[in-house]
Amino acid sequence: MSDTTRRGSYAKGIAKREEILTEALRVIAEAGLHGASVKAIAEAVDLSPAGLLHYFGSKEELFTEVLRKRDERDSQQFSGLTYEELLAILSAPGPEIPYDVDTARQLFTELTAANAKVPGLLHLFSQLAVDAADPEHPAHAFFLQRSELFHTLFSAIVEDHQEAKGETRVDPQVAARMLHALADGLQLQALLEPDLDMAKIADAFFELIL
């Protein structure tokens, strides 16, 4: 096989993975997690279940990548930055934080409101968050990276805000942990109480700590 052929095959494989993840997000949004079987997702992209898992290795890896795709889509839609761009910014020495606290508050409440409309993805997130406690689970590394990004970004935003005001109401690291716990907890509560106004609660939290 020539290098050109290999590059072509690799590019097609990447494109097919993206198609699968996009369709999986749609199927889960429309049918819920219980209706989003590997068979249903495979049919949406004209593959057999075995053919679909060829691109991911297992059902757990597929659903982990679905959550990663959701985060990437949300990051781009609500912040204008890709997931990779955020990671690069926060990994740099003395990072320049891309949002002030008012923008972060607006983006977070908008994102919370949008996620509340897709209970299938809330269900998937809550289920995988528990399963990922096992270090051997495919989602373990994803959730650790996600948590680190969340804590680094939000604690830096709070710290900048407090320095500008000359007032410290709560340790920035603690504030980040509190918001993270609130965000994850609200997703679980919304599954039990579909009418829960997650965005209103999230906004009230910002009011309390800032």
pLDDT at position 8 is 54
**Three-state secondary structure call for residue 94:** coil
pLDDT band, residue 95 (cuts 50/70/90): low
**Mean confidence (pLDDT) of the chain:** 87
Instruction: Mention the CATH class of domain 1-57.
Output: mainly alpha
Cα dist from 23 to 5, 18, 29, 130, whole Å: 27, 9, 10, 24
Q: pTM of the entire structure?
A: 0.85
Where do you find CATH 1.10.10 in the chain? 1-57
Question: Which letter does DSSP use for residue 81 in this model?
Answer: -
Instruction: Mention the CATH class of domain 59-209.
Output: mainly alpha
Answer whether residue 7 shows pLDDT above 60: no
How would you class 187 by CB atoms within 10 Å of its CB: exposed for 0-12, middle for 13-18, buried for 19 or more? Answer: buried
Rounded Cα distance, 209 and 190, in Å: 23
Supply 186's token pair: 């609200």
Where do you find CATH 1.10.357 in the chain? 59-209
